[in-house]
Amino acid sequence: MTTLEPVQQSTSVRDAVLSRRSVRAFTAQPVDREIINRVLKAASRTPSGGNLQPWHTYVVAGTARDKLVSTVMERVESGDNGDDPEFAIYPPKLKSPYRERRFGTGDQLYSSLGIPREDPVARKNWFALNWQFFGAPVGLFTYIDRTMGSAQWSDIGMYMQTVMLLLVEEGLASCPQESWSQYHASVDSIISPPNDLMLFCGMSIGYEDTDSSGDLYIDRVGVDETTTFLGWDS
Ligand SMILES: Cc1cc2nc3c(=O)[nH]c(=O)nc-3n(C[C@H](O)[C@H](O)[C@H](O)COP(=O)(O)O)c2cc1C
């Protein structure tokens, strides 16, 4: 059981929300384990339905991190495209407008990197940086109990956002990464979770390499496209 004192005066949540972005270039500067502890302790305040707190978190650094990268990269470089998925990251036929959003995001990302759509090899090589944590010294993995349903998956999403916002406050950058689930058997082989847990998502954590990270700030659709206000017309 953890106890945390409520903070009397909050720093700006808005600033953290607006400045967080998925960073894909990190320096090798190590991250103090105490900082990660502090972040995870505060993130334990994330709400969850029934207060199940369904997140199971594994944090890798040093030799565990390096072993993970070398194990998965060996598979990637040998042309192994991964394990049978344990869950579908996207619905089989992504319908409009999600499909356009997904492709629009890919275009924004790859054009910021100077990689043309017609160069799948360059895209693939760049994407493989996922399995090197984009150079970050720390990796975080969230696992979910296989008996849990979609409501608990959403709880874990909330937890991850809380972690990422708290990292911003600590001057740290992050990138959430479902791509690790593509090689879930290798991640499991190093993390050794109990059999009843399934890998959901990885996350790179470290100090942003501002010389090579660029300033990509992925677009969002307007509030009017996602929100319906009712009863405000009087
Ligand atoms: C659950 C989840 C999984 C993600 N997986 C990956 C991933 O494997 N690799 C990656 O580069 N980005 C990944 N992303 C980052 C998204 O592409 C990114 O959040 C989105 O494009 C919006 O950009 P922003 O985070 O910079 O605002 C993931 C994001 C989430 C929330």
Question: Is 8 a residue whose pLDDT tops 90?
Answer: no
> What is the whole-number distance in angstroms between the Cα of residue 129 and the centre of ligand 1?
14
Let me know if residue 177 belongs to a domain: yes
pTM: 0.96
Run of H or E including 177: strand 173-177
Q: Looking at the domain assignment, is residue 201 inside a domain?
A: yes
Q: Answer yes or no: is pLDDT of 67 > 70.
A: yes
165-191 mean pLDDT: 98
Token couple for 155: 């709880």
Residue among 27, 6, 15 at smallest CA distance from 169: 15
63 lies in some domain: yes
Predicted confidence band at 117 (pLDDT cuts at 50, 70, 90)?
confident
- CATH number reported for the structural domain that contains residue 36 in this entry: 3.40.109.10
Q: Is residue 86 over pLDDT 80?
A: yes
pLDDT for 147: 98
Residue-wise DSSP of 17-50 = HHH--B---B------HHHHHHHHHHHTT---GG
Residue 106 included in any domain = no
User: For the residues 12-18, what does the mean pLDDT come to?
Assistant: 94
Give how many domains the chain has, as a whole number.
1
Domain-located, residue 72: yes
Mean pLDDT in residue range 191-196 = 98
Which of 178, 203, 205 should be mutated for ligand 1, with most atoms under 8 A from CB? 178
Give residues (CB < 6 A) around ligand 1: 21-22, 24, 105, 130, 175-179, 201, 218
Assess if residue 159 is contained within a domain.
yes
> How far, in Å, CA of 97 to CA of 100, rounded?
5
> Ligand 1: distance of its center to the CA of 22 in Å?
6
Residue 164 lies in a domain: yes
State which residues form the domain around 64.
13-84+132-211
Share of the chain above pLDDT 90, in %: 92
Whether the pLDDT of residue 234 is over 80: the answer is no
pLDDT of residue 233: 81
Mean pLDDT of the chain: 95
> Distance from the CA of 5 to the center of ligand 1, in angstroms?
32
161 CA closest ligand 1 atom index: 31
Ligand 1 centre from 232 Cα, in Å? 34
The minimum-distance atom of ligand 1 relative to the CA of 24 is 11
Q: pLDDT digit string (tens) for 87-99?
A: 999 999 999 999 9
